Amino acid sequence: MSSESSYWNPVLETLPFVTIRALQLKKFKRIFSWAYDHSKFHRALYDEVGIKPEDIQSFAHIRQIPTVEKSMMRDIQGKDPFPYGDALCVSLNEVTAYRQTSGTTGQPVYQPDTWQDWEWWAECWAQLLWAQGYRPKDRVFIPFGYNVFVAFWAGHYGAEKIGCEVVPGGVLDTRARILKIQELNATAMMGTPTYMLGMADTAINEMNINPADLTIEKITCAGEPGASIPSTKKRIEEAWGAKVYDHAGATEIGAWSFECTEQPGGMHVNDAFFLAEIVDVETGEIIEEPGVRGKMIITAFDRHAQPCIRFDSKDIIEWDAEPCLCGRTSRLIKGGVVGRTDDITKVKGVLFAPSSVEDVVRGIEGLGNDYELKVEKINDREKITLQVEYLHNSSEEIDKIKSKLSDQLRLKTNLNYEIEFCRYGELPRYPVKAKRFKDLRK
């Protein structure tokens, strides 16, 4: 039956939403008690505000529980039980895997996991890959560096759990990876949007291989919001001749969200395994209504070694008003993760999300995939510069592109830009996650 089912778990994924909410409350109480009883860090945090496990009887009670910031996790690590500190809920003998965050926003955070936690990681991924059409017949190529960062490790084990044949693309360079995909007729792949576009560029420009002629049918993207940015998704899909699906997860949280094969313009939250709450960035008030953006506070119900309870993810999301046609009853977040609170900044008095520039740049034919963005302050005047690469254009075409780019950027972001054109290949390339935005005002 399972190979015929559209759902990895036909029960959990189609529960009436009212039942999902009851399940969430039950599971929240369980993980809160676990953390309170086993982690000195969590107990101290909750004792400080006088909240005990038996006090939690409703979602209103949950909202009173203090959130956990990444900086708090950084503060406790490096101490006993070494190196994780006192949020560790199991003995060190039970810890079977070490991972850490990528360090994009500062000192990496250590993440201990037990066998059970790893089974759970793989379970979350199995569910999302199944929803994206992965089946045992797939040969999944994973072009990822298999190191201390969690990245696609759990994707590897999730694909194995489904029964796919997994090909670890570990230390191979980009060319060798492309040749391996060609040699083995791999049908699916996982990577950051930046790397998926970079691989396609290498195949076309350095190897004379059209990636769309290879056998990749589907790509799961994570690590950056690109696969939910329409123009980036389109470019990856066209380059590889494959369907591209987004996924959002984090080392401290788990694999909490995914796009399904319906490509509904957003991602499902795995509501049976996580409680995602959206709060107003300024007031901290809970946002229940669709279409209103806020930051996500998230709880993982089944993660035991180092629990994730009301973690301030800093991801900006909004609920979608419409259910997904796939039949899953879990909630959708519209447009995926649309930004991060630590990325959004004011430029010339206007709130600015760098990811909105990506959609414009990659939506214009004649421009390359890569771009760089910087904000400077010159004599008290803020200046925002966008560098883009042109592809084989005449100066007349460049003028047209420049005008189109300026108009669309102004429309989308309410800002005027200095636009600089570079030759193809001049701008930096990023192997995994791109850091294209530089705020030089600080």
- The site for another protein (CB under 8 A) is made up of 5, 7, 9-12, 14-15, 19, 22-23, 26-27, 114-116, 118-120, 123, 273, 301-302
Comparison of 120 and 195: residue with beta carbon closer to another protein: 120
The strand order across the sheet containing 139-142 reads: 165-168, 139-142, 188-191, 218-221, 243-250, 254-258, 266-269, 332-334
Comparison of 118 and 430: residue with beta carbon closer to another protein: 118
3-state secondary structure of 6: coil
Helix axes 355-362, 395-413, angle to 10 degrees: 140
Residue 83: CB minimum distance to another protein, A: 23
Residue 109 CA: distances (Å) to CA of 85, 100, 122, 253, 278: 11, 5, 21, 12, 23
Residue 47: CB minimum distance to another protein, A: 28
- Per the DSSP assignment, residues forming a β-bridge with 371 are 388
Comparison of 23 and 432: residue with beta carbon closer to another protein: 23
Comparison of 128 and 209: residue with beta carbon closer to another protein: 128
Residue 434: CB minimum distance to another protein, A: 35
CA atoms in the 13 A half-sphere facing the CB of 108 = 14
Q: How many residues does the chain have?
A: 442
Residue 8: CB minimum distance to another protein, A: 9
Q: Who contacts 264 (Cβ-Cβ below 8 Å, separation ≥6)?
A: 320, 322, 324, 325, 326, 332
Residue 9: CB minimum distance to another protein, A: 5
Amino acid at 377: K
Residue 89: CB minimum distance to another protein, A: 15
H or E element at residue 266: strand 266-269
Comparison of 110 and 120: residue with beta carbon closer to another protein: 120
Residue 261: CB minimum distance to another protein, A: 18
Residue 216: CB minimum distance to another protein, A: 29
Residue 166: CB minimum distance to another protein, A: 18
Distance CA 89, CA 39 (A): 5
Comparison of 3 and 394: residue with beta carbon closer to another protein: 3
Comparison of 94 and 343: residue with beta carbon closer to another protein: 94
Q: Which of 303, 342, 336, 341 is nearest to 317 (CA)?
A: 336
Comparison of 9 and 182: residue with beta carbon closer to another protein: 9
Q: Cβ distance 257 to 225 under 8 Å?
A: no
Distance CA 99, CA 102 (A): 9
Comparison of 203 and 253: residue with beta carbon closer to another protein: 253
Distance CA 6, CA 262 (A): 12
3-state secondary structure of 308: coil
Residue 382 CA: distances (Å) to CA of 33, 340, 420: 50, 22, 17
